Amino acid sequence: MASDRPRLTKRIVLKSQQVLARATTQTPTKVGDAVRRIDAGWPGRHTRRMYDELSKRQASVLAQLRTGMTPLNGYLHNIKAVESNLCECGGAVESREHFIFHCVRWSEQREILGVWTGEEDLSRLLGGKTTTDDDDWTPDMDAVRAVIHFTLATKRFERDTSTQARTTR
């Protein structure tokens, strides 16, 4: 029996290594879909360089906007955290696009976006590469910083500590 034990262990180890190798080489197709919609070059070196130029808070806001995992009702409704996906303005579903380009609640803060407001190019504003961009393309960091500054100015991504305090009591 003692001679069977090492083979059994070796077989289990080899099998677990094969499973692990498969899991690390095959990325599920849904991983990164939200980012790929706005960044045809993702994952790429430009992503790391872009985040390295930002503070931790700015990088957090950008990551939320790029992945679509935001505190906006469109996403929160999808994960069943809120009842409605509609924006408080009553105009539409509170998506990234609605928040950045259309919501009347943020008209004053939208002036921060300046020249980028007329384009309605979410990909460019969030540092994404489009299929029409050249190989030597780099993210427009001025546009990225403008949309981050706009988002922070709205305070829409800040946590509501009063709600958290009420739920923990």
d(CA 32, CA 34): 6
Q: Using one digit for the tens of pLDDT, what is the confidence trace for 96-105?
A: 999 999 999 9
Among 34, 56, 61, residue whose Cα is nearest residue 155: 61
d(CA 145, CA 150): 8
Domain positions in the chain = 34-161
Q: Using one digit for the tens of pLDDT, what is the confidence trace for 47-91?
A: 888 999 999 999 999 999 999 999 999 999 999 999 999 999 987
Question: For residues 93 and 87, is the Cβ–Cβ distance under 8 A?
Answer: yes
Report the share of the chain in percent with pLDDT over 90.
42
d(CA 13, CA 18): 9
